[in-house]
Structure 1
Amino acid sequence: MGYIKSKFPGVRYREHPTRKHGVKPDRYFFIRYKLNGKDKEEALGWASEGMTEAKASARLAELKEAKRTGKGAVTLAEQRAEADAARAARQEEEIEAARAGVTVAQAWERYYPLTKTNKAARTCAKEEQVWRLWISPVIGAKPLKDVAPIHLERIKRNVLDAGRAPRSAAYVLAVIRQLFNFARDHDLFSGTSPAAKVSAPKADNRRTRFLTAEEAEQLLTALKKRSLGVHDMALLSLYAGLRAGEVFSLAWPDVDFDCGVLTLRDTKSGKTRQVPMTDAVRAMLSERKPAANGNPLVFPSETGVKVGQISQTFTKVVSDLGLNDEIVDSRQKVVFHTLRHTFASWLVQNGVPLITVGRLLGHSTTAMTERYSHLAPDHFKQALDTLESHKKQATKKPGQLVQG
């Protein structure tokens, strides 16, 4: 299939050997011209697709005019690239125009169904309540692009003014942050999330309440009468300092009776740690072992799988004992985590160094253990006495006796 010159200079074509366009063979058109002193040929298209000799000549004239004036593309490849770029720009403009109108409520309508798929029912219910009470009334009708940090500051203030804890306000901001991240990931929003410019209110939510030896004994006795399983979980947390999740995950292969050590895996800090067993813990686990029936979990649920949360039996027993009577501050209320806090508090009171306590608890930083420092006043007094004694020894005169 050779080239055939047309009646237009610089335009030629090839004829398809079999395919027809009307009564004539289909033709594929090319243009040929000089570019930077060299011959250049570019393809245009088939006659069956709308190309003609006249159109090909017109395109060639455009390129020559662009070369003469220095304006515009001087090759078909450049023209196509410019057309593709213009098309992409128009598409981006259309996307931006669509984004500009998306409201926070519309983003929520897409976000929340996925949340229900990927998160626990309790978490979803809590997020829905946060949306309904705090987020929607302030920014629900606003386009995502119009939400500014000042609007989120208003939401934060509304939560705090309603008497909610700073931690609640921080949770509301966290939901907003997740919503904007979702919108950005799904091309509903572009730019910086306004939540990135709003700081969460700070508050000391650390628990300070710990049980006395008498309260602990009363609690364990009452729990044992109501539920042996809850009693054993509580005893393990009280005398080994385990978090609830660590109790739920404890497996028999990680209970070493010979060495008297529990190995805790996949902990909150992400590290595996070992905790020694007290006599009470060893005795309790020894009694539970025969009933394992091949289940690797030390505390399986009734269906044999891992427990998800502490039974309400614990809360009811605490209430029956009156341990939370007349206590308003949530940090002072007895909950299951109080047992771990009691474990640490008792250790410090009995002179165990803070660094050792921190390692037993699996704290990732020493600052987390510092909350217990006030329970060891004698320890700090001894340190100051040592310093004072050193000062006296350094300043006394030869032959002088130091009094006291």
Structure 2
Amino acid sequence: MAIRFSKLTRPAIRTLKIGDSLTEHGITFRRDANGDGVYSVNIMVDRRRIHRVIGRESEGVTRQQAEDFIAQARTDARRQRLELPEGRKTPLSFEETADRYVQRLRDSDGKNIDIKERQLRQHLVPFLAAKPLSAIESFDVERYKKARRTEGAAKATINRELATLSHLLNQAVEWKWIKSKSVRINRFKEDNQRIVYLTDNQCVALLDAAASDHNENIHAFVMVGLHTGMRHAEILAIRREDVDVGKRVIWVPQAKAGSREQPITRELAEYLGKRMDMLPPGCEWMFPSPGSATGHAHTIRKAFRRSAERAGLDPDQITPHTLRHTAVTHLVQAGVDLPTVQRISGHKTLSMVARYAHQSGSHIEAAMDRLEGRVSGTQEDNIRKLKPKSSA
């Protein structure tokens, strides 16, 4: 049914004075100081306000185009309602979804909740706030990537944010907030960057700083990380029964490459033995957390950040995963063969371990020196054996 206008009529528009405006049925016409007219719309559709400038009279824009815009917006809203899961009357905005998503993760002991919440609050929500969750398109993702790159964000940083967005959308389907995930998220191809690891002195400084923190778990966490190269989540999920001090191994039942026995150093075996003696009787976990639904800690990032700062390290660059990089890099620099390093670190493929082989030139030079020592003859002898080119 066509909209009937009594105020915003063609005669009224033609006679409108400079600086005045007419509004009817959500459409506004304003006469600017230069005499040109501007059409805009301001309407509510499914509890969402849409305010848009349609265009200028001088550009050929008419009231009909404003009417067409409103009709299309309402058609799109009806389509979105048809795509909603059963029981929902209006689509969830991205902002509302983000709040619900974080709360669900907290209720179910999700992983990396603080990081995901920060990514959403600081970047994703401001960009996608009023967008209905079911209406997010690949074009929105590409615009987000461009905007973040313009702000100076690294490709790796943006990829982590896109991973959070992808997980949110997947969970929204599982929790029946939307019927399907139609958006395709293409991540950046990351540049091969130098792996960050700690020097010997930095390891000592971090251990000393962790020992003075009020979190009773952080020093043990750093000890295990530096002495094994285990992943953040693997360390925090260690059970007392999984530690065999005599055999110097930790059983890791759930790891990326499958279950494994994690070798540990003699120093760490003695340390864990004493730690287990100090834990409360009946305590199941090496890193207990009474407030957690599982009984053990799931993150230790805040305490790690405090310790890194106290040790004079950059907490934005040095993270819990840096301990894994450090352990593996030190093994390689010590001359341990890569298959053995892979056995210790639990990497799935040898190529993943090979990334660490370039971290220091000193162990490469030492290896070449050993090769030189196995080759017969001396440098002087070999130089004398060089035959000069014939002058003929």
Of 244, 256, 266 in structure 1, the residue corresponding to residue 244 of structure 2 is 256
Deviations 1:376-396 (A, max 9, x none): 52487489979x98xxxxxxx
Shift of residue 141 of structure 1? 7.0
Is the Cα contact below 8 Å between 1:252 and 1:297 reproduced in 2?
yes
Cα distance between partner residues in 1 of 2:355 and 2:247: 31
> Can you give the 5+ residue segments of structure 2 that lack an aligned partner in the other structure?
1-77, 107-112, 376-383, 387-392
1:364 aligns with 2:348: yes
Cα distance between partner residues in 2 of 1:296 and 1:114: 32
CA root-mean-square deviation: 4.2
Report matched runs for 1:276-287 at 5 Å.
Answer: 276-287=263-274
Shift of residue 106 of structure 1? 4.1
Q: For 2:152, give the aligned amino acid.
A: G
Report matched runs for 1:4-403 at 5 Å.
Answer: 98-99=81-82, 106=92, 108=94, 111-112=97-98, 114-120=100-106, 122=114, 123-124=116-117, 126-127=119-120, 129-136=122-129, 140=131, 144=135, 149-174=138-163, 177=166, 193=182, 195-196=183-184, 198-204=185-191, 208-226=195-213, 229-267=217-255, 269=256, 271-292=258-279, 293-301=281-289, 305-310=295-300, 312-324=302-314, 330=316, 333-374=317-358, 375=360, 376-378=363-365, 381=368
1:281/1:103 CA distance change after superposition, 3 Å: same
Shift of residue 347 of structure 1? 0.6
Shift of residue 155 of structure 1? 2.1
Deviations 1:188-227 (A, max 9, x none): 667x82x32x521122486722222222123223332445
Cα distance between partner residues in 1 of 2:117 and 2:352: 30
Cα distance between partner residues in 1 of 2:170 and 2:337: 44
1:162/1:385 CA distance change after superposition, 3 Å: same
Cα distance between partner residues in 2 of 1:169 and 1:126: 9
Is the Cα contact below 8 Å between 1:104 and 1:142 reproduced in 2?
no
Shift of residue 171 of structure 1? 4.4
1:162/1:104 CA distance change after superposition, 3 Å: farther
1:403/1:295 CA distance change after superposition, 3 Å: farther
1:218/1:303 CA distance change after superposition, 3 Å: same
Is the Cα contact below 8 Å between 2:329 and 2:357 reproduced in 1?
no
Query: What is the percentage of aligned positions where both structures have the same residue?
Result: 24
Q: Which structure has the higher relative contact order (CA within 8 Å, separation 6+)? A: 2
Is the Cα contact below 8 Å between 2:95 and 2:128 reproduced in 1?
no
Cα distance between partner residues in 1 of 2:278 and 2:179: 56
Shift of residue 273 of structure 1? 1.4
> Can you give the 5+ residue segments of structure 1 that lack an aligned partner in the other structure?
1-94, 390-401
Cα distance between partner residues in 2 of 1:347 and 1:187: 48
Q: Equivalent residue of 1:280, what SS?
A: helix
Shift of residue 316 of structure 1? 2.4
Cα distance between partner residues in 2 of 1:182 and 1:299: 28
Shift of residue 143 of structure 1? 8.0
Q: Equivalent residue of 1:119, what SS?
A: helix
> What is the aligned length?
285
Cα distance between partner residues in 1 of 2:366 and 2:166: 44
TM-score computed with the length of structure 1 as normaliser: 0.58
Q: Which has the greater radius of gyration? A: 1
Is the Cα contact below 8 Å between 1:104 and 1:143 reproduced in 2?
no
Write 1 or 2 for the structure with the bigger share of helix.
1
Shift of residue 366 of structure 1? 2.5
Deviations 1:337-388 (A, max 9, x none): 22221111111001111222122111122232122111452487489979x9
Cα distance between partner residues in 1 of 2:208 and 2:227: 15
Which is worse superposed, 105-114 or 283-292? Answer: 105-114
1:239/1:403 CA distance change after superposition, 3 Å: farther
